[in-house]
Amino acid sequence: MRNSQSGWQKNQKAVIRSLLDFADDCRQRGQYGQAESLYQRALALAEAVFGPDHVEVSTLLNNLAVLYKYTGNFDEAERLYRRALAITEAKLGADHPNVATIYHNLGGLEHARGRHAQGEPYARRSVEIREKALGSDHVDVAADVAALAAILDGQKKFDESEPLYHRALAIFERAYGPEHYEIAVNLNNLAALKNAKGETEEAEQLYRRALALKEKLLGAEHPDVAMTLNNLAVLLKRQERYEEAGAMYERALAIFEQALGKEHPKVITCRENYARLRSRAR
């Protein structure tokens, strides 16, 4: 009977993992509605099979929370992250790399909310845990370092954040080569930093590199592509290159609305940016 139960759980775990992989793939392709349904199915099954406090459950809670951050459901994302954190710390210990992942994500959530100072302790904790576990040159450490840099940017701590971006990019390029999603993300973020410092020529070059790489890796209609289009449009508008900026905004808004709906914070921001541009360009 015990062996039969163990075999049944093993089979159910395989089903859960399959649902999780499919959901992650949908999320990465910007198919958020389908991803949410798959995550919820996998979570309900994991809770039924393993109980509400199992590490399998914490993984699903974390991944569903990531999706909710992308779709602007910030309060629900935080609730799920905190539940996942409590389970993971209890089962694996406070210094496990999985704990670092959740701290990384909590920092990213505060960044998305615009509460950068509140996110900084989470980001620093993720770097601390991961460096201790994996060493300073691991790609997961680089991801934590880049996330910390973005949060520091939000507080205008550019002297600290810029070297962190360069450190992360160097690790990613050694590990992955010149064409990888993490590199595209960090080129975009480094461009934003350069723009904030008034180094607009270098910022534009970085944005265009990030845009080309995202389009190649994700496809032309992905929400991440729209984010870089919006950022580049902001830069072009400040240079009074209104026609170019308008084309970028128009394309970004169409992608955002298709992927996220008309009431998502990114959609609203892009729409308002575009409206201000059109008003000024008349």
Residue 227 has pLDDT above 80, yes or no: yes
Residue 209: pLDDT band (50, 70, 90) is very high
DSSP classification of residue 30 = T
Alpha helices (H) along the chain: 2-28, 32-50, 55-70, 74-92, 97-113, 116-134, 139-154, 158-176, 181-196, 200-218, 223-238, 242-260, 265-281
Domains of the chain: 12-20+27-92 (1.25.40.10), 192-282 (1.25.40.10)
Query: Looking at residue 1, what is its pLDDT?
Result: 47
Answer yes or no: are the C-beta atoms of 230 and 192 closer than 8 Å.
Answer: no
**Residue 36, CA distances (Å) to 64, 66, 86, 210, 225 in order:** 7, 10, 22, 27, 21
End-to-end CA distance of the chain: 77
- pLDDT, average across residues 222-230: 94
Q: DSSP character for 29?
A: T
pLDDT of 2 reads 53
Quick check: 148 and 123 in contact, CB under 8 A? yes
Contact 35, 21 (CB under 8 A): no
Angle subtended by helix axes 116-134 and 139-154, to nearest 10:
160
Under the banding of pLDDT at 50, 70 and 90, the label for residue 263 is confident
**Dist CA 196 CA 49 (whole Å):** 50
Quick: pLDDT tens for 163-198: 999 999 999 999 999 999 999 999 999 999 999 999
Distance CA 118, CA 110 (A): 7
CA dist 258 to 68, 217, 222, 267, Å? 17, 19, 10, 10
pTM given for the model: 0.84
Summarised one tens digit per residue, pLDDT across range 29-43 is 889 999 999 999 999
From 4-18, 96-110, 155-169, 208-222, the region with the lowest mean pLDDT = 4-18
Cα distances from 120 to residues 116, 149, 158, 162, in angstroms, run: 6, 9, 14, 16
CA 153 and chain centroid, separation = 16
Q: Is the pLDDT of residue 3 over 70?
A: no
Q: Which amino acid type is present at position 28? A: Q
Question: Helices 181-196 and 200-218 sit at what angle, rounded to 10 degrees?
Answer: 160
Answer yes or no: are the C-beta atoms of 47 and 57 closer than 8 Å: yes
In the predicted structure, residue 4 carries a pLDDT above the cut 80 = no
